[in-house]
Structure 1
Amino acid sequence: MTDSIAVPSSAFGAERPLGAKAMTVLKAARKVFLAHGFAGATTDMIQREAGVSKSTVYAHFANKEILFSAVVQSECFATSINIRNIQFVPGKIREILHEIADNYLQIVLSKSGLALARMVIAEVERFPNLGKTFYEAGPKPCVSQVKELLFLAQQAGDIELGELTAEEAARVFVGSIRSEPQLYYLTHPEETPTKAQKQQWSKLIVDTFLRSYGKTD
């Protein structure tokens, strides 16, 4: 996550800039959560890391769950900017799908992305809103963006979805990208994927998708 932190008011929507102290607290919270996990992190730790009073922390974030939700939102929003900026170009669907796949793998297989996913999975039964926040800030807007790109590709005749809607096709594509790689590295924290491994998986998914839905002459 970059030093410029913003929490989106809605997925892929306008940003709601945070004040300087709130940003300081959020940066400190990110560091503490990634180091100690959700259960192990305390507001005292975050307060000390941020160098602010406890009242300052609570003035911006009412409790630890809300603070963690803000960290998840800001992380997802910051790391997904490349996907949000992808533009449709007629006749370039293979290149577009590769760009989506490459960028999405960078997000879900990043050290912080995997760490946050593990935390959410570990705590979602006790704090259901964490799971909802994670989904609304991460996978859902990505599917939405891919849906728009696939709709334009279908309109241009670059793909043929048959009875599938653009949203259904987007769910298939995005789900395929993260499937095995994300599961593997979630359960093997001591390993790190190489650039070549990510590129190989991206090519496999794009080739498979286009064999099913690519335009045939």
Structure 2
Amino acid sequence: MPDGTIEPKKGRKFDQVLEGARHVFLSDGFEGASVDDIAKAAGVSKATLYSYFPDKRFLFMQVAKTECARQAEHAIETINMDAPVRQVLNAIAIDMVDFITSQFGKRIFRICVGESDRFPELGREFYESGPLLIRGRLVDFFHRAVENNELAITDFELAAEQFHELCKADLFPRMVFNMDDEFTPAEKQRVIDGAVDMFMARYGV
């Protein structure tokens, strides 16, 4: 069975198949999604689908990796890392909170947990395709901020993880335990402000 680290064959309808699969997986989950439904949503034949992705598991892995990378790259490209520290942290926190509480973020997390026995590498692939990219950019930003005497950090990787966890406060546990599924802008802003304030209280100069 193909491993998630193997790169799929690219072709003219590759993105079309991925988009159709994304729609079906997020709607029906991994188990509920059928190859017939995915092919129909993508507007391709099953033969075309299988020419790119030999099985549903491999297709799901590629959908998760592609979507995570796309959202992470969007966040990286749209944030001005040369802005004042608090402004940068606020922008990063907004993207993190929006992703965590998005339909995709919630679906992919639940699928990662629900399918952990079926393909345990999914969690690693998901992390490397999204959160790890953001953490790397955060670490780079922290180094520059320390050089400019704006932050006082010695363990940069830990600080990046701490900021990520601060952005999950309150909302993530409520979502995971099915206490709430939707959050108001005020609820999100409360967590964003708290994350930035707490981080600056610890590491601000």
How many pairs were matched up? 198
1:175 to 165, 172, 178: 165
Is 1:107 matched with 2:110? no
For 2:124, the aligned partner's letter is K
Unaligned runs of 5+ in 1: 1-8, 10-15
Aligned counterparts of 2:199 and 2:74: Cα–Cα separation in 1: 21
TM-score by length of structure 1 reads 0.84
Report Cα offsets for 1:29-63 as digits up to 9, x if no partner. 11111111111112122112223221111111121
CA contact (8 A) 2:90 2:196 kept: yes
Report sequence identity in percent.
31
Matched residue, 1:144: 136
Secondary structure of the residue aligned to 1:80 is helix
For 2:110, the aligned partner's letter is R
Matched residue, 2:82: 89
For 2:194, the aligned partner's letter is L
Matched residue, 1:28: 20
Secondary structure of the residue aligned to 1:178 is coil
Report Cα offsets for 1:135-165 as digits up to 9, x if no partner. 111221111111111111111100112xx32
Deviation at 1:192, TM superposition (A): 0.8
TM-score by length of structure 2 reads 0.88
Is 1:62 matched with 2:62? no
Matched residue, 1:5: none
Report Cα offsets for 1:167-191 as digits up to 9, x if no partner. 2211111122124322322333763
Aligned counterparts of 2:134 and 2:173: Cα–Cα separation in 1: 18
1:194 to 160, 184, 192: 184
Aligned counterparts of 1:201 and 1:23: Cα–Cα separation in 2: 35
CA contact (8 A) 1:147 1:167 kept: yes
CA RMSD of aligned residues (A): 2.1
CA contact (8 A) 2:72 2:131 kept: no
Aligned counterparts of 1:153 and 1:211: Cα–Cα separation in 2: 15
Deviation at 1:121, TM superposition (A): 0.9
Aligned counterparts of 1:166 and 1:197: Cα–Cα separation in 2: 28
CA contact (8 A) 1:80 1:107 kept: no
The runs of 4+ residues in structure 1 deviating greater than 4 Å are: none
